[in-house]
Amino acid sequence: MNWFVVVPVVLAKFLLPVALIWFPFAAGWANFVLDTVDGDLLIPAGLGNSSDPNENHLYQNLDKVADYTTYVFMVVAAWKWPVRRWIIALFALRTVGQTLFFVTQNELMLLFFPNFLEPLFLVCATLLFFKHAAAWGHLMRYRFIYGPAIFIYKMQDEVLTHLVDFDRSEAIRGLFGR
């Protein structure tokens, strides 16, 4: 196992969410990018890249615990936002999925209880960053655009990730002939 890769990536996956409290936009998007590429870093470094199913479960479980840590800090960061009830409800929805995943080790639980929390949080954090005081009015005015866009984006993401097991990184490498 390449500890020089594994340790910093895992530490970042657990420490970056804390920054959501003070920097929801920057930390939110940095966390999104890290969560997108962590498997491409950790699996080749030896975490979960084995014929031993227990080692593969180690990566999945570690990733899901880190994701849940992020969700907790998203709720904390959004506590004073006018949309906090939505944030809490979506957190509860994903908590059911995460719990069922840990009990069953079945990734379909994550598909059945989608993570709408993260994209809503990122939309809100982005609007706050660029629109400041006008963010909430903008969000409410265009909720019939944001809501379906978040739903469609996240459902295709959950299907590709947890049902089809589509490797986006491999597809991107294929586009560039690698």
R_g of the chain, CA atoms, integer Å: 17
Tell me how far CA of residue 92 lies from CA of 14, 87, 117, in angstroms.
20, 9, 9
93, 116 in Cβ contact below 8 A? yes
Domain ranges (residues) in the chain: 3-175
Return the structure tokens found at 71: 């969700």
pLDDT, tens digit only, all 178 positions of the chain: 899 999 999 999 999 999 999 999 999 999 999 999 998 899 888 887 555 555 567 888 899 999 999 999 999 999 999 999 999 999 999 999 999 999 999 999 999 999 999 999 999 999 999 998 899 999 999 999 999 999 999 999 999 988 887 777 677 677 787 6
The reported pTM is 0.91
